[in-house]
Structure 1
Amino acid sequence: MAKRIQLGLKQNWKQFSLLVLVNAFVGGMVGLERSIIPQFAEQEFGLASKSAILSFIVAFGVTKAVANYYTGKLANRFGRKSLLLFGWCLAIPIPFILIYAPSWNWVIAANMLLGLSQGLTWSSTVVMKIDLVGEKDRGLAMGLNEFSGYLAVGIVAFLTGYVAQTYGVTPYPFYVGIFISVMGLLVTILWIKDTRHHVHVESKTNETEVLSHVFMETTFKNKTLSSVTQAGLINNLNDGMIWGLLPILLLTLHFNNQNIGIITALYPTVWGIGQLFTGKMSDHLSKKKMLFWGMFLQGIAIIFMPFATSYFWLASISVGLGLGTALVYPTFLATIAQATSPKQRAESIGAFRLWRDLGYAFGAIISGITADIFGLKYAFLLIGFLTILSSLIIKFRMPKNLKS
């Protein structure tokens, strides 16, 4: 069987395209909450504290981080498709819990399920695409993967904002989630195939040094892997803050649901579309420079955000934040894939994604407490400066000769 297997995007385009579609459904489940949950919390449950509202992001981030890590560790043992299917089964109840939630604790429980589901599904599609394409087109593959996922985040964020403006924040926006979860499960059952055999084929020719301890090397010891890991954590730390506090900032400026939906959707939409280009760029340009400038641009955009009051400037800053994130997101994964052997790649990506998605929890906690004590503006400034600091770690710690 292994003799008939070929690596490459062209050779596996049908299965790759199906995985792109599946990851769009995965991203759509996150977009479901992107523009409406803070208002949902205030209107339905009377929550006013920023840190209390952001507790749903903490629940999401922690459970997704843990699921990422164990998906990486268990991928070779149980198969990528099995974990992907299990992730979709966990997604099915989420919109129903949100529709019928009698208290905020039920919303937190739904987001714990969402985190587990996202960790299993998104991690599986990432690893499966890398398995299929081999060494040549890793950046392009990750760009296409993240493009589909985050474009769907943006589209669904806009859609739920529009539906909420027209019909109210519940239950109609959550009907979108029912459709997405059912379609994702069906496509996976009917057409997705496991990719473990592709790993065996690549392992025969790959000469990347085997890591002595994958978790410790990815987190602390290996200068390339640890630099990427800290940047991934800070990237999602600021994303967690934007997810929770940007809609609240826009509400204080008296924007309606539709305009909030547009501004909050611009960032992940530009992030998603931009990766069509930045993914391929990372196959040819310096990964270190792309990571530095991407993180730096994010930091600048976040610092300026609380000082903007007009729709035009807030939309423009959201676009800039999306461009910065597009530069780094596929480059993170392409760099990890390049620096690890095929047999250890899933585990290393799992360790990276553990820390990266813990950033959601750290970002929600830090920004929520800062906003409650000092005000929204200082939460944005703190997270912006942390993001710029992360870019400087990339600049001075990551090896200079890292390319392609």
Structure 2
Amino acid sequence: MRTVRGWFQHTTGGLPRAFWYLWTGTLINRLGSFVLVFLAIYLTQERGFSASAAGLVIGLWGVGGAVGTTVGGTLADRWGRRPTLLTAHLGAATMMLALGLARPLWAVALGALLLGMFAEAARPAFGAMMIDVVPEKDRLRAFSLNYWAINLGFACAAVLAGFAAQAGYLLLFVVDAATTLVTALIIFTRVRETRSVPTGPARSDGRAPTGALRTILSDRVYLGFVALNLFAALVFLQHISMLPIAMGDSGLSPATYGSVIALNGVLIVVGQLFVPRLIKGRSRSHVLALAALVMGIGFGLTAFAHAAWFYGLTVLVWTVGEMLNSPSNSTLIAELSPAELRGRYQGVFSLSWQVAGAAAPVLGGLVREHAGNTTLWLGCAVVGGVMAVAHLVSGPARERRAAQLRSPSLPVRPVTVVRTPVPEAAEAAATGPAGPVRANR
């Protein structure tokens, strides 16, 4: 008992109160995250759209998300984390209801586009706020706990949505919108603005420095990491777009898909809290490479699945890779993000997910239609293997960059901040001399 209590204290103790409010909002929001899980089934079986039309709608969700993360990252740095989160959640709840009531394909497509934009605009602000409130030494635990909450909610939502859909698919949209509003209420009443006024090369009016886009585009180490995440997301998101269709072809019901995909959340809920201690002190490059390889194998096994238990086995395998990937990914992103550009860096990272969200269902549908189901899933395995090698090759450069951003005594290249020339009098009124760029998902 004393050992369990000590483990629990080590896992959850010492984290700031603001983190727990964000954690609670995450859990509530994910408990109602019914729509995206069942959108492909809803569009093909309830609405009678073709698989290609369903892929287009889900792809437009990703296109909207790409716009949302870009705008949301900029607003998080310029406007603030809190107002960005509030606006995004309120807009997402509204568009969730609109999508549920839409009937023509063009209206469904437009609703998905706008919903993706609002829903994903919250992601960079939330990630930046999480980094703001949690000290660097506690981030691995904090990100693992937040990921645990995401998947606890997801596991419950996947099962509940399967039964709720039997009462009418509109209920899925209503519940999802309601939980989004509750999350917005928690943020509004309990979480203060966490964006600090930048120092050093940032502007004296509290805004992020100019030339931010040029800074990010010149950061090859960071962009390389984002590119690897894009390929990982292209594989991972097949569980939303092509997996339910493959299971339907095997004669399995939507409720069975919900139960199978819920295994993903159940395994993470059971095991994710033990992952930080398991990977602590190990090479992040090796952990990320192993994660990519295991995830690829898991999706590759789907090529041979025809029964529910076999599909469940594949989900369990790629979930292990996901569990290894998430905390290492999140802490590395935090360390590679200069503090004054944190929202934008989070936005660019989230953009890789949105690009994948738009491309994964389209590419998956095309490969499946023209090359077959087996080729699709074995192709995922090949991508996982290539990513594993890429992580091993690029890992040392990432760790050097992270060390540069942590240490004020080391030069940081090529991350430079371009400043707009100001009169000497205005420059003299600035808060102080330029300081080092430091990184505090």
TM-score, normalising length: structure 2 = 0.79
Aligned equivalent of 2:338, options 329, 337, 341: 341
Q: Aligned partners of 1:381 and 1:74: how far apart in 2?
A: 40
Q: 1:192 maps to which residue?
A: 191
Distance 1:212 1:177, change over 3 A: closer
Question: 2:388 corresponds to which residue?
Answer: 391
Q: CA deviation digits over 1:45-68, x for unaligned, max 9?
A: 3223x3321122211222222222
- Please name the residue that 2:368 is paired with: 371
Contact conserved, 1:298 with 1:321, CA < 8 A, in 2? Answer: yes
Distance 2:216 2:292 in 1: 19
1:5 aligned partner: none
| 8 Å contact kept, 2:238–2:360 | yes
Shift of 1:400: 7.2
Please, which moves more after superposition, 20-29 or 352-361? 20-29
Aligned to 2:287: 290
Distance 1:287 1:295 in 2: 12
Residue 129 to residue 273, structure 1, CA distance change in 2 (3 Å): farther
Amino acid at match of 2:343: A
For the residues of structure 1 that align with 2:212 and 2:152, how far apart are their CA atoms?
31
Alignment of 1:64-143 (within 5 A): 64-143=65-144
**Residue 326, structure 1, aligned to residue 326, structure 2:** no
Contact 2:96 2:115 in 1 (8 A): no
Q: Secondary structure at the match of 1:193?
A: coil
Identify the residue that residue 33 of structure 1 maps to in structure 2: 36
1:342 to 1:280, Cα distance in 2 relative to 1, 3 A: farther
Shift in CA distance, 151/116, structure 1 to aligned 2, threshold 3 Å: farther
Residue 183 of structure 1 corresponds to 182
SS of match in other structure, 2:273: helix
Shift of 1:110: 2.6
- Show CA shifts across 1:164-206 (max 9, x none): 2x424x2233332132122112212211211123x76999xxx
Aligned-residue CA RMSD (Å): 3.0
Cα deviation, residue 129, structure 1: 1.2
Question: Identity of aligned pairs, percent?
Answer: 21
Q: 1:339 to 1:358 in 2, by over 3 A?
A: same
CA deviation after TM superposition for structure 1 residue 284, in Å: 3.1
Which residue is equivalent to 1:206? Answer: none
- Contact kept? 1:54, 1:244, Cα under 8 Å: yes
Aligned residues of 1:126 and 1:145 also touching (Cα < 8 A): no
Distance change (3 Å), C-alpha of 1:214 and 1:239: farther
Instruction: Name the counterpart of 2:24.
Output: 21
What TM-score comes out, normalization by structure 1 length?
0.85
**Residue 354 of structure 1: CA displacement?**
1.2
In the other structure, the counterpart of 1:167 is: 167
The alpha carbon displacement at 1:219 in A equals 6.2
Q: Which residue of 2 aligns with 1:42?
A: 44
Q: Which ranges of structure 1 fall in alignment gaps of 5 or more residues?
A: 1-8, 204-210
2:345 is matched by which residue type in structure 1?
Answer: S
One-letter code aligned to 2:150: G
Q: Compute the displacement of 1:86 (Å).
A: 0.5
Q: CA separation of 1:359/1:282 partners in 2, compared to 1, >3 Å: closer, same or farther?
A: farther
The 10-residue stretch of structure 1 (94-103 or 367-376) with the greater mean CA deviation from structure 2: 94-103
d(CA) in 1 for partners of 2:86, 2:257: 34
Number of residue-to-residue matches in the alignment: 385
1:274 shift after superposition: 4.5
Distance in 1 between residues matched to 2:213 and 2:256, nearest whole Å: 43
The question of whether the paired residues in 2 share the 8 Å contact of 1:214 and 1:348 is answered with no
Q: What does the per-residue CA deviation read over 1:98-118, in whole Å, with 9 as the maximum and x for residues that have no partner? A: 332212333322322332223
Moved more, 244-253 or 376-385: 376-385
Amino acid at match of 1:379: L
Structure 1 residues 312, 11: closer, same or farther in 2, change over 3 A? closer
| Paired AA for residue 35 in structure 2 | L
TM superposition shift of 1:245: 1.0
Q: CA deviation at 1:244?
A: 0.8
Structure 1 residues 337 and 273, CA gap change in structure 2 (3 angstroms)? farther
In 2, the alpha carbon distance for the partners of 1:401 and 1:123 equals 21
> Structure 1 residues 31 and 109, CA, compared in 2 at 3 Å: closer, same or farther?
same
- Specify which of 253, 256, 262 is matched with residue 256 of structure 1: 253
The unaligned stretches of length 5 or more in structure 2 are 1-11, 202-208, 404-441
Superimposed CA distance per residue, residues 247-288 of structure 1 (whole angstroms, 9 cap, x where no aligned partner): 111111112222111112222443566543435655532211
Separation of aligned partners in 2, 1:19 and 1:151: 15
Which residue does the alignment assign to 2:378? 381
Letter in 1 for 2:167: Y
